[in-house]
Every structure is written in C-alpha cells, then in structure tokens.
Structure 1
Amino acid sequence: MQVIATAGHVDHGKSSLVTALTGMQPDRWEEERRRGLTIDLGFAWTTLPGGRTVAVVDVPGHERFVGNMLAGVGSVPAALVVVAADDGWSAQTAEHVAVLDALGVRDALLVVTKSDLADPAPVLADVRARLAETSLGDVPGVAASSRTGDGVPAVAAALEELLAGLPAPDTTAPVRLWVDRTFTIRGAGTVVTGTLAAGTVRTGDRLALAGRDVVVRGLQSLGQPVEAARATARVALNLRGVAVEDISRGDALLTPDAFRSTGELDVVLVHPAQRLPAELVVHVGSATVAARVRPLDDATVRLRLGGPLPLRVGDRLLLRDPGTRTVHGADVADVDPPELRRRGAARVRAADLTAGWDADADLARRQVVLRSEFVAMGWPVPSGATEVGRWLLAPGLADELAARVPAVVARYRQLRPLEPGPPTAVLRSALELPDAELVAGLVRPPLALRDGRVVATDSGLPEPVQRAVTGVLARLAVEPFAAPDTEALAAAGLGPRELAAAVRDGQLVRIADGVVLAPGVEDRARRALAAVPQPFTLSQARQAWGTSRRVAVPLAEWLDARGVTERLPDATRRLR
C-alpha cells in the first residue's frame, strides 16, 4: 500500500475527486457533508486498475483548519494537488503548496478539477509553472470532472505512475506512528489511527507512548484485520494499557528506546531567514507544539519546545508563524545540543552546524556516549568509533586515554606498593570517565585487568617482601604443610598487608587467618590423603600431612569447601 495526501482550496472539489476515485466519502462528520466543507482529516482507499492499493488522506482546505491540514500531510510521502479549472491558483492553494515545499515533498500529481465548467489547459500550465519553483519540481498534470467522470480514469493511471516511482520505505526501521485519530470501540477499547511511514507493526508488539508501555492487541489496515502492517500504510491499532482520554492527536507510538524525547534542539532552515519571530509553532507528523526561537544565524535556529517530542537528527520540521501564516522548513541537526554560555558561542555553534554537522562531528563533541542514546538521536555509528561495552568513544580517544593509564597505575603503586594496582573505580575517576565499564577498553599490555584491578603482568612484590616470601617458600618446599606461625611471619617482615599482597600475586595460598601455604597445596594434600584408608579422621589426616592441629583443622575445612573432601556425620572425612 502507498499513501498520498490531498492539497488544495476548499472549493476546488478535493473531496469529490477522492470520492470519484475511491467510491468512498472521506468527510466523516455530518457538518462536513452538510456544509460541503472538509473540517478534519478524511480517509479513503482504493485499488487502482493496475492492482496497486492507495490510501488517501483528505486534508482541510479552509484557512481556518490549517492545523488539521498539517496533521494530515506530515507523515505522507506524496501529494495530490487539486485546483479547479474555473478558479485556478488561490491563496489557499499557495498556502498548501508552501507547506509541501517546506516539508520537502518531491512527489506529487496535479489534478485540475471541474473541467466540465472551464477550459483546464490554462490552469494546468499556470499551476505546473508555479509548482516547478518548489520542491515538487516538474509535476505531471491531469484534468478531470468529478461530476461527469471525465478524466477520472486518467487520474487513476497517473497515480499508478506516481506511486510506482516512490522510493521504497524502510520496513525494518524503528516505528514512530504519529496518532491522528483516537476513539473507542465497544468491547475493544482504545483505538488509534495513523500513517505508518517506516517500520513494521505486528499484533502483540509492545510500544512506548508518552512514557508508558502499551500493547497492540489488534491491528487493521484499510478496514481489514491483519497480523502485521508494513510501511507505508494507513493503520488502526487497538491498544491495551492506555485509556482513550490519555492519548490524543500528535502523540506518537514508538519502538521502545529507539527515539530520544527532546525539548530543546538545533535546526538548520531550508531557506535562510533574516528575521524570525520569538515564538513559532512546530509541526511534525501530526504533532503541533509551540516553540521559543533563538536564531544562531540566518540559517540555524535553536528551538525550545513547549513540550517534548520524539525527534531524530534529519527529521524535517515545519515552523509556522500563526500571525503571518508564513512557513519555514527546518531539518533537525541536534536533539541534545550543547549549552551556549560564552560570548560568541552561538556564532561558533552556527558555523559548526552549517559546515556539515554529521555523526563524526557529533561524537567528536560528546567524546563518550552510550551507544543506544547516540543511535536513538538518529546517528549511525561512525566507522572510526571505538565501542567498549555499551559505550562509544570518539575516534582516537581510546588510544589517547590508554596512553595515560600506565602513569596512573605507576603512581598508585608508588603510593601503595603492596597492592597489585588501582581498582577500576580509581582509573574511572582519574580519566574522568562516566562509567568504570570503560576501563576494560583502555587497558593495554603489559597491563591487564584482573579481579577488578589494573595490574602489570610483569610486576612483582617490593624487594624486601619478595625476599621474605622466597624464604617462606623455601621452608615449605621441604615441609609443604608446616605453615609458619604468625610470629615467625612477622619476624620475617610479613604482616597482614604483605601476606595479602603475596596471596594476590599468586605466590602464597591463604588457608585461614595466619595460615599460608605454597601454591599447589591442594594437589599435595589430596595425594597424601589418597594413601590413608577411607574414611579417615582428622588425626589421620594430620599425620598424613605431617603437620600440627593448628594447620590441619583449617586445611581440612578448606578442602571441604573446595569439594576435595566430604565431611561425614560421624566427623570423619573421605575424598570425593
């Protein structure tokens, strides 16, 4: 399916043309039908002779309902511009075309209606020339009469050709469905409708709506229930988890965590403007929100929105001055802009934005950012970025920070020689990182991350401590289970801190407080016990190990805890 929007004056027969094409009356309200005046958005659809399905969003043409008109065209990729042969170009036509131009719409079909009342050729020529000066460019034109039916088949054929040339939508993109209608259905609950411009919606999907989760319990497209709808499509979603009074036109259903809600953003105007009012109205999708304006220069503007919107870099906004009805197109350049505190900061920011602001430049400014947040802003991940866990680092930053790590480690060990190296929290603070998780990506050989610390793989104990440990190991080589007592260790210069350092360095094994043995003690103890009849008593184990009760008791419990031995109910043990 493809979707188009109508545009044109209230008296130019838009709704009649839609009815002639689709056989459906797009005006939904009794007042609209009584007055012959489109007030709100209307919807109709048909299958063209070539087999292509098209949905039409019929927007109001009267100047009083321009807000509703903008809600209808915001998510639609193509337009049907309708002008009457007996009237021609009008102020409302100009206003609608200005909107299409500001939105950057490039695909359209011109239909000159009421061809039975006047020669359509002059109007066709005049309007095509005017449209050629806008983003629409060289627009094909067809004359038709909704009353007689003349030209309606030609309109259908021209629509076929127009729709065939539209770019394929990205059906894998995150969903951002701008709501244009809300209502309830007895037995079903809350229903919303909108134009799905990108992505795919499925029954059972969980979507985000104004900070809450909702579930798609039912889905329709063109009045028929479907399990999935792919862009571009008109869809109606039956939602679970939200009351109809809590949702309105302009809200958006979003793929969770795929968009960043922002109240302040920088935009680049499509056409520079020397003077802008202090306040404008921002239109995007079906949303309308007031905004305070801070021009950075003639081409760039900072907007402070009256309410947050889920926007991405590259979104096209329409800025409207309600007083003069002037419209400006603007492209979102940054949804999380920097503060402008210093004199001249606005001028520098404007120069950055107009120089070609892109993902590389944005990441270079932020330096370190969560990958999910960066992508939610609308940026692709730069090819030169470094990814560490959940984080992105600007190109070159990881190498720059990694070069500072050895000095931090050396200083820490100088102050605390008995510790193997600084904890990751110390590195995080020293390098001013937002998360200790980043440290893992900055540690390079001969440094390594071990047990939450950054250590030198070739580092050892201070020389006096190493001499004392070597002496202990020499004695244990002769008597493996004769652990020296606390007094002997202290006499050798091995207090609690020195022993802890030796254990961390892997040179001693701590069995209990004040009891240390040589590495490999587990295998030696197992071999000694294998020669003892099973099960065995603590006394038999002590004799097999040739040690005192001071060592045998904690050693036996240590082996139990490691699963080497099993203690039985009668206090004997056996090897597992």
Structure 2
Amino acid sequence: MFVVGTAGHVDHGKSTLIQALTGIDPDRLREEKNRGMTIELGFAWLELPSGAEISIVDVPGHERFIKNMLMGAGGVDVALLIVAADEGVMPQTREHMAILDLLGIETGIVVMTKKDLVDQDWLDLVTLDVQEALEGTSLENAEVVAVSAENGDGLDELRSTLDKLISELPSHQSTGNPRLPVDRSFTITGFGAVVTGTLADGSLKTGQEVEILPSGLRARIRSLQVHEESLDQVGPGTRLAVNLSGIDHSDIQRGDLVTSVGWLESATAFDATFRVIPDAPRPVRHNHKVTLFAGTREVPATIRVLEGDQIIPGFSGWVQVRTQEKIPVVRGDSFVVRDTENTLGGGHVLEPNAPRRKRNDAATISVLETIASGSSEDVVFNALTGIEPATAAQLSGATGTNSSEIKDALSTLETQGRVRFLGEDSSFVMSVGGWQNLVNTASSTLSSFHKTYPLRQGMPLQDFRGQLKLKSAAFNAVTDSLKSEDVIATNEATVGIPNHQPALSVDQEAEASAFLKLIAADRFSPSTEQPINIEILQFLSERGDVVRISGDIVYPADAYDEMESKIIESGRDGQEISITSVRAIFGTSRKYTLAVLEHMDSKGLTRRSGDARFLR
C-alpha cells in the first residue's frame, strides 16, 4: 500500500479536493469546519481505477501550522502539490515545495484546483509559473493536472494519473524492524490506547510486544486496522491504527516511535549531511538554535557546523545535530529544521548516536565522507570503533540498522580481517586494531603488576576489569578470548601472565617457615604477636598454607578447615550455632571464635540471627 500526501498554500482547496476524490471529509475538528481551513492532519483513502487502494494525508497550508504539515509529509510516497488556478504560486506553496525537496519526495502531481474560476490562457500562465518554481527540485518533472472540485472536471484524469504513478512505484521492502512514527494518540472506550501513523519499515502483527521510544515503555498490540478493516499483520508503507494494551494513551505522544523491542537506542546527537534551501532568509551558523522535525517528532536542537562556521543558502555541508531531548533516528532518515517562522533546510542522518566531533578537522571530515559514501560495512565498522567491544544489538542501536544487516556486515568484516568475535559464544565483536590495543593493555598491566607484586599469583579480577574499563558481560567475553590466546591465565579470583610462578627467596622462605611454626603451636588460637611481611602472607594464602580470617588472625589451612568442618557438623538439622558452643568445641577465646564465625558468614556458609547462627 502507498501513501499520498497533499501540500500547498492555505485555502487552495486541498481538503475540498480530497473530499471530492474520496467522499471523506478530512477536516475532523469543529474549529476546522468553522474556520474553513485545515489545522491538524486529515486522513482519507481511495480506491483507484485499477483497484489499488491508497491512503491520503491532508496537511494544513497556513504558515502558523507548518509544523503539522511537516509531521504529515514524512512517509509520503506521492505528493499532490495543490495550487489554486486563480492565485498561482504563493509563499506557502514555495515553502512546501522546499520541504518536499528536502524530504526527497520525487514522485508527485501538480494539481491546479479551481480551474472553473479562470480561462485557459490564465491557466496556462499559472502552469508555467509553477513549473518554473519547481525547477531544480525533486518534483521538477511532475505532471500537471487541472481540476475543479466543484463540478468534477478533471477528477477522472487525476485518478488515472495517480493510478499510473502508483503502479510504477517499487513495492516497499521490509527491513526487519518496524518503525511507526506516531502522529495521533487517543483512547477508545472499551479498547484503550490507539495510535496512528505510517509504518516506515518492517511489519507489525497482533500479539507482538513493542517498545515506545524514546520513553522505553512497552506494550502489546491488541489489534491493527487499515481503512476501518481489521488485519492480523501489516507491512511497510501502510497507514494504520494500532490498538495497544498495557499502556495508557497519555503515555504516548505525537512524535513517539513504536518499534520492536531492544534494537534501537534514542540519543541526543547525530551526524548528518545538511542543505540550506536557496530561499532561506539567513545562513545556518555554527551553534544555530533551531527546531528539528524528524519523523513526526518536533524538538529543540542546535546545529554544529563541522566544516567552516556557516552554511549559506543554496549550499550543503557536514553538521552534527544535538537535541535537547532524546530522539530515535536511523541512518538515512530525512529531517527538516526551522527557526522562528522560516524553514532553513534539512538533510539526512549519517550516524545516529554520534560522538562529539572535532570541528574543522580533516579526520572528522574523512570519517563523515566514508559514512556518506561507504558501504554498510564501513558504517558498522566506524560505529564499532567508538563503542567496542560491542554486541550486534548495540551496533544496531548505534547505527540505526536492523539486526540482519548488522550480522551480514559483521560477517563480511570478519572475512576481510577487519573485526574479530570474542567469547565462547562470539557475542561481542571488536576491530582487529582495537583488539590488539586491548591485548597490549592487558599484557602491560599484568607485567607491571607482577613486577610490583612478584609474590602474588595475579591481579584481582575486579581490579583487572577496572584497568580495562569494561562492563561485566564484555569483560567475561574478553577474558575468554585472552585466555584462549594464552595472553592471560585466571583462577576464581585472580588473573596473571601465563607461566608466572611466584617464588620466595631464601630469606623470605625462612621468614615464612618461622611464621608457620608460630601459628601452628596453638593451631586453634594462633599467635598474633609476630608480624610478617604482607606480601609473604599473601603468597602463603594463595599457595594454600594459611587462611587469613581478619587483619591479624591467620590460621594454618588445615586447622581452619577442621574448625569449619566441625562447626558445620554442629549445625546439622537446624541446630543453633553459638559462640559458646563453638568455644566449647575448640577451647578458644571469644576473639577467635567470633572471627571464625564472621568469616563463615562472609563465605555464605552461615547466617546470623540475633546472637545465634544457623547453616544456610
């Protein structure tokens, strides 16, 4: 299915034409009927002579409601540029032409309305004027059809012309992830939340769980309706209404995006190509404050000009758009910006979720040129180097690309030797250069640790993770791969360089032997009087000779194991473990008994309840 949208100056007969074509009055608000002009978006549908059915979006023409026009123009396949024959090209005609051009709408018809009010000579002059105005725009080759909604003259020709254009359009391709920009949200008694919009990508089906962006709220599709007909599944390019359960309509606003769960991230910055329209009243300067229109969303934004200090009317440049609110966009999305009462220009998203770029920098421009002209592999690779190690889902959100394309791109990049997968399940990926840097960091970090602490088996895993600055899931994948390549060796608590074997010197061995003999003299109440070098003590602990219970209490390992075993035995069948009962078993003081019990608590072997303890 395809969507046709109107455009044109106020009072040039857009809504009247739609009603004459379809029998449906697109002006649904009382104020619209009282004032005789469209304020909000209007909707209708039409069956063409071939039997094809189209949706129609009617937009307001008044300059005060241009933002509503922008919200309706997105997702349009065919534009009907409406020009009244008795007035010709007017200010909003030109602005709407510019907007259609910025949005890249290349298929359209110029509809000259009110032909019954002028003679043929005047109609020919106005037609020439319109064609001249369209030169250099995406609709410069649009066919012109003159009609009269009052007497029906020309309406059959318009239907036939529209039918021919529709038949020549390529069918919409599903990219895997649905995106429905919301242009209306309301409630129907007995049904709950309903949203409407034009499905940009993918498909939606009843029962499907969806995510509302940028809020991140989730809902489930109760039903789908197209032209008052209920359907189980709807494909891309379709204008539809979606009944959602599990959410209130007040939690969904115009401008939100309904999509599948977990693939797309909202952000406050994206890189883009940007063109200032020739009729713009001023250049777009660096840090220009504007209103951004993307999809059906309107949000305050700042334009960062990345090359030079401004872009003058009629010219293009590289920009980064920074928004005051998070917005969900994908690569290739069109957008328009305005300031005060003027449309300034627009462009196409290059990289969603973009890092802050250095201005007037050759490397920055090179990256943008690669993204703009490069393959999907280049786009994914560029995004990866900014967030690696990353999952396919993270890359999908960072680039605004569906998961199947991400997997294909990563497969190609792996074949080219540009990336490598990490972990036993290959869930993370890194660039080859990024991986080598990480290997170097890991090796140098552990070498430095072993040099500083030669008697230790290795660095604590959590400290090593902190040095690599990785989140836990990525850290696990990285350590798996580092181990598989013999870069590191790990146990439950530490990580070190393979084959690192701590060894005591002769003097250290003597100190260690003396300490072990001292604490073995009274094995359940070991002496705390003779100090020992902390590194030697750590060595003995890692070797399994001793168990350090607290700051100054260290047990011979066999003594502690015996105590732990007997305490556990005493607590079988739910028996209470008390300080008194443990003291009686081992003949120790309260100091030692309490230290051992607290150590067992920390290991999760016992739980405290008041002054007593029980086995877990």
The TM-score, its normalising length taken from structure 2, stands at 0.69
Matched, 1:148 2:151: yes
Q: CA deviation at 1:269?
A: 0.9
Give the structure 1 partner of residue 330 of structure 2.
312
Post-superposition CA distance 1:47-70 (Å, at most 9, x none): 211121100000111222112111
Q: CA deviation at 1:365?
A: 4.0
Give the structure 2 partner of residue 356 of structure 1.
370
Distance in 2 of aligned mates of 1:104 and 1:79: 11
Secondary structure at the aligned position of 1:355 is classed as helix
Matched, 1:245 2:250: yes
Q: Given the superposition, is the C-alpha separation of residues 68 and 408 from structure 1 closer, same or farther in structure 2, using an over 3 Å criterion?
A: closer
Q: Do 1:280 and 1:320's aligned partners in 2 also have CA atoms closer than 8 Å?
A: yes
Q: Given the superposition, is the C-alpha separation of residues 454 and 160 from structure 1 closer, same or farther in structure 2, using an over 3 Å criterion?
A: farther
Q: Do 1:364 and 1:395's aligned partners in 2 also have CA atoms closer than 8 Å?
A: no
Give the structure 1 partner of residue 343 of structure 2.
326
Give the structure 1 partner of residue 480 of structure 2.
440
Equivalent of 2:431 in 394, 403, 424: 394
Equivalent runs, 1:253-402 vs 2, <5 Å:
253-271=258-276, 274-276=283-285, 278-296=288-306, 297=308, 298=311, 299-323=317-341, 325-339=342-356, 345-348=358-361, 351-352=365-366, 354-357=368-371, 358-377=379-398, 378-379=400-401, 380=406, 381=409, 383=413, 384-388=418-422, 389-402=426-439
What amino acid maps onto 1:292 in structure 2? T
Q: CA deviation at 1:223?
A: 0.9
What amino acid maps onto 1:8 in structure 2? G
What amino acid maps onto 1:347 in structure 2? N
Secondary structure at the aligned position of 1:442 is classed as helix
Distance in 2 of aligned mates of 1:444 and 1:252: 43
Q: Given the superposition, is the C-alpha separation of residues 170 and 513 from structure 1 closer, same or farther in structure 2, using an over 3 Å criterion?
A: farther
Q: CA deviation at 1:311?
A: 1.9
Equivalent runs, 1:8-47 vs 2, <5 Å:
8-47=8-47
Q: Do 1:179 and 1:248's aligned partners in 2 also have CA atoms closer than 8 Å?
A: yes
What amino acid maps onto 1:227 in structure 2? D
Q: Do 2:94 and 2:133's aligned partners in 1 also have CA atoms closer than 8 Å?
A: no
Distance in 2 of aligned mates of 1:391 and 1:231: 31
Secondary structure at the aligned position of 1:116 is classed as helix
Q: Do 2:182 and 2:254's aligned partners in 1 also have CA atoms closer than 8 Å?
A: yes
Distance in 2 of aligned mates of 1:326 and 1:371: 38
Q: CA deviation at 1:129?
A: 3.5
Q: CA deviation at 1:496?
A: 6.5
Give the structure 2 partner of residue 114 of structure 1.
114
Secondary structure at the aligned position of 2:171 is classed as coil
- Identical aligned pairs, as a percentage? 33
Matched, 1:126 2:126: no
Matched, 1:176 2:179: yes
Q: CA deviation at 1:328?
A: 0.7
* Structure 1 unmatched ranges of 5 or more: 466-485, 488-493, 502-511, 517-576
Q: Do 2:336 and 2:343's aligned partners in 1 also have CA atoms closer than 8 Å?
A: no
What amino acid maps onto 1:328 in structure 2? G
Structure with bigger gyration radius: 1
Q: CA deviation at 1:72?
A: 0.8
Secondary structure at the aligned position of 2:116 is classed as coil
Post-superposition CA distance 1:77-114 (Å, at most 9, x none): 33111112222211121111111112222222222222
CA RMSD of aligned residues (A): 3.4
Q: CA deviation at 1:331?
A: 2.3
Q: CA deviation at 1:235?
A: 1.0
Distance in 2 of aligned mates of 1:500 and 1:80: 86
What amino acid maps onto 2:238 in structure 1? A
The TM-score, its normalising length taken from structure 1, stands at 0.73
What amino acid maps onto 1:242 in structure 2? I
Give the structure 2 partner of residue 480 of structure 1.
none
Q: Do 2:147 and 2:154's aligned partners in 1 also have CA atoms closer than 8 Å?
A: yes
Q: Given the superposition, is the C-alpha separation of residues 47 and 456 from structure 1 closer, same or farther in structure 2, using an over 3 Å criterion?
A: same
Distance in 2 of aligned mates of 1:419 and 1:94: 76
Distance in 2 of aligned mates of 1:255 and 1:500: 56
What amino acid maps onto 1:308 in structure 2? K
Secondary structure at the aligned position of 2:130 is classed as helix
Give the structure 1 partner of residue 202 of structure 2.
199
What amino acid maps onto 2:475 in structure 1? A
Distance in 2 of aligned mates of 1:279 and 1:461: 62
Give the structure 1 partner of residue 375 of structure 2.
none
User: Where is the helix percentage greater, Structure 1 or Structure 2?
Assistant: 2
Secondary structure at the aligned position of 1:270 is classed as strand
Q: Do 1:75 and 1:286's aligned partners in 2 also have CA atoms closer than 8 Å?
A: no
